């Protein structure tokens, strides 16, 4: 069979679209091989690097991965830890041993001194099993409890755009809005500052989410945050 | 109009709505019509309109429905009470439950359910206006909505009905042809692999007629599949210049 690449770099593809023919190309990301053809399995952008064809998804819910730092919400307190909603199909667990660098005596102190029901926190995923068990850690900085502030829900596929190249977008957001902003890989963004500034930062994030594929977005956001309205 | 098979449905080689025998109704597809859903689509075939919304993958509730190795696909087909000329009693019916099941079986082979173990994918389909071919329009809408939600699939399912009116084989029946024609064959196809995932038949056919219908359905589904892909790309078209990801 002939070797043939059927798509261009950065092209939008839909599920089932054939990307390449021939055995020398390799599928990666949201693509797969069937017989001698490689096809996309999800709506996404094509990224061709040499012989590797990768499809980066444009939509979809958060899929937890080890090493991700996520913004979560405490949904239950058990005897030896917390249950945390991290916007994935499965709840994550935060054990007392992973909550603080100090020793926590569960007989003496109540656990809600550290994280109470409904609290938000920044935590890292340290373990993930095939059966859907997710283990979190909040022992070391920057992982911590997020007191006050607002949490905004963003599509997880737009998170790279909110951070920007080498963090350019998130730096602009923080500098111009004068808010503390923490971006979780799961699509929750925590914002804390003066109430009006918080609202502005939220507006800016909504703009980024809506126009995530347009160029010159950093300047637009800068302009919007400096403007009066 | 008269009884089944007695009325003239083809006049001067054209159908009552002016179409040729192998011509589809005007089709419009729009992706992402419901912002709160993970994925959504509105599809219309002539006067038949379906809206589909996809939620998930999410937790399975009640828990006993959970499957250890793949996602639990839940489809709910419903006709709005105002969708038909005679008011339709709202809520689930024997008919809508059966069609939900049939649609589930038409879509499931195309979805990579094993990528989402122990989760639930919900697909809600509402028929806003019915003018024959609601199950096929529903499948087309659900398929676009699933892709819009970023669910991994082997291909997008395309669906259309073939039929027999005045002894001639035609594609994509509308209400009068469905009521007074002599056969109706709704089908769903995975275009890339040429698999048939839905095939129902109401009426009598000869072997030759069936073969002709099969060919017509595959040709039509190829066109529909193209329109589905364009609709999804259209959603991102205005956004896709520059930017980094």
- Give the residue extent of every domain in chain A: 6-57, 69-146, 150-226
Contacts of B112 in chain A (CB under 8 A): 41
Integer angstrom CA distances of residue A71 from A64, A75, A120, A138: 12, 13, 7, 11
CATH node for A69-146: 2.40.50.140
Confidence of residue A216 (pLDDT cuts 50, 70, 90): confident
Question: In angstroms, what separates the C-alpha of B202 from chain A's closest C-alpha?
Answer: 31
Which of B32, B72, B155 to substitute to test the interface with A, most A CBs within 10 Å?
B155
Characterise B243 by phi-psi region: left (phi > 0), alpha (psi -120 to 50), beta (else).
left
**For chain B, what are the domain ranges?**
20-236
Question: For residues A25 and A21, what is the distance between their CA atoms, to the nearest angstrom?
Answer: 8
> Could you tell me which CATH class the domain A6-57 is placed in?
mainly beta
User: pLDDT digits over A65-116, tens only?
Assistant: 999 999 999 999 998 999 999 999 888 999 999 998 888 888 888 898 899 9
CATH fold of A150-226:
Ribosomal Protein S8; Chain: A, domain 1 (3.30.1370)
B59 inside 8 A of chain A by CB: yes
Q: Which residues contact B209 (CB under 8 A, 6 or more apart)?
A: B164, B169, B183
- Alpha-carbon dihedral of residues B31, B32, B37, B43, nearest 10 degrees? -40
pTM reported for the whole predicted model = 0.90
Percent of chain A residues past pLDDT 90, beyond the cut? 55
**Apex CA A20: angle with CA A14 and CA A21, to 5°?**
135
A132 inside 8 A of chain B by CB: yes
Which pLDDT score is estimated for A211? 79
CB contact under 8 A, A217 and B243: yes
Integer angstrom CA distances of residue A174 from A48, A137, A163, A165: 34, 26, 11, 15
ipTM passes above 0.90: no
B71 inside 8 A of chain A by CB: no
DSSP assignment of B120-147 equals EEEEEEEEEE-SS-HHHHHHHHHHHHHH
Q: Confirm if A219 and A200 have CB atoms less than 8 A apart.
A: no
CB contact under 8 A, A12 and B240: yes
- The reply to whether domains A69-146 and A150-226 share a CATH topology is no
Which pLDDT score is estimated for A84? 96
Domain spanning B20-236, CATH architecture: 2-Layer Sandwich (3.30)
Please name the residue ranges forming H helices in chain A. 159-163, 168-177, 195-210, 217-226
Chain A segment 149-178 residues within 8 A of B by beta carbon are 157, 160-161, 164-165
B22 phi, psi to nearest 5 deg:
-105, 30
């Amino acid at each position: 069979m002939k070797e043939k690449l059927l798509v261009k770099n950065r092209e939008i593809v839909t599920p089932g679209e054939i990307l390449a023919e021939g055995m020398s190309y390799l599928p990666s990301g949201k693509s797969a091989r069937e017989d001698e053809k490689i096809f996309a399995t999800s709506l996404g952008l094509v990224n061709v690097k040499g012989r590797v064809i990768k499809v980066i998804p444009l939509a979809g819910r958060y899929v937890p991965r080890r090493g991700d730092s996520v913004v979560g919400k405490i949904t239950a307190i058990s005897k030896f830890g917390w249950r945390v909603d991290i916007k994935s199909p499965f709840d994550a667990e935060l054990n007392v041993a992973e909550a603080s660098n100090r020793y926590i005596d569960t007989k003496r102190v109540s656990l809600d001194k550290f994280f109470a029901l409904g609290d938000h926190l920044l935590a890292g995923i340290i373990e993930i099993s095939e059966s859907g068990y997710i283990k979190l850690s909040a022992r070391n900085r920057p992982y911590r409890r997020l007191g006050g502030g607002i949490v905004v829900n963003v599509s997880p596929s737009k998170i790279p755009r909110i951070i920007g190249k080498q963090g350019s977008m998130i730096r602009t957001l923080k500098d111009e809005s004068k808010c503390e902003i923490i971006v979780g890989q799961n699509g929750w963004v925590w914002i804390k500052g003066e109430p009006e500034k918080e609202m502005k930062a939220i507006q800016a994030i909504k703009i980024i989410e809506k126009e995530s594929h347009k160029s010159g977005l950093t300047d637009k956001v800068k302009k919007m945050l400096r403007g009066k309205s | 109009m008269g009884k089944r098979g007695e009325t003239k449905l083809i006049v001067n080689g054209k159908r009552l709505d002016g179409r040729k025998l192998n011509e589809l109704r005007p089709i419009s597809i729009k992706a992402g019509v419901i912002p709160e859903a993970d994925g959504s689509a509105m599809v219309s075939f002539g006067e038949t309109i379906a809206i589909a919304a996809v939620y998930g993958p999410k937790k399975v509730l009640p828990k006993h429905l959970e499957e250890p190795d793949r996602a639990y696909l839940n489809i709910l087909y419903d006709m709005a009470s105002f969708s038909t000329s005679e008011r339709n009693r709202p809520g689930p019916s024997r008919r809508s439950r059966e069609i939900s099941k049939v649609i589930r079986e038409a879509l499931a082979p195309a979805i990579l359910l094993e990528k989402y173990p122990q989760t639930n994918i919900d697909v809600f389909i509402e028929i806003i206006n019915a003018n024959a071919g609601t199950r096929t329009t529903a499948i087309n809408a659900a398929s676009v909505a699933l892709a819009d939600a970023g669910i991994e699939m082997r291909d997008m399912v395309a669906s259309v009905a073939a039929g027999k009116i005045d002894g001639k084989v035609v594609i994509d029946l509308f209400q009068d042809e469905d009521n007074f024609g002599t056969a109706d064959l709704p089908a769903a196809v995975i275009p890339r692999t040429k698999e048939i995932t839905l095939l129902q038949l109401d009426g009598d056919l000869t072997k030759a007629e069936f073969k002709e219908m099969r060919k017509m359905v595959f040709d039509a589904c190829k066109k529909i599949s193209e329109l589905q892909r364009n609709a999804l790309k259209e959603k991102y078209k205005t956004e896709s210049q520059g930017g980094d990801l």
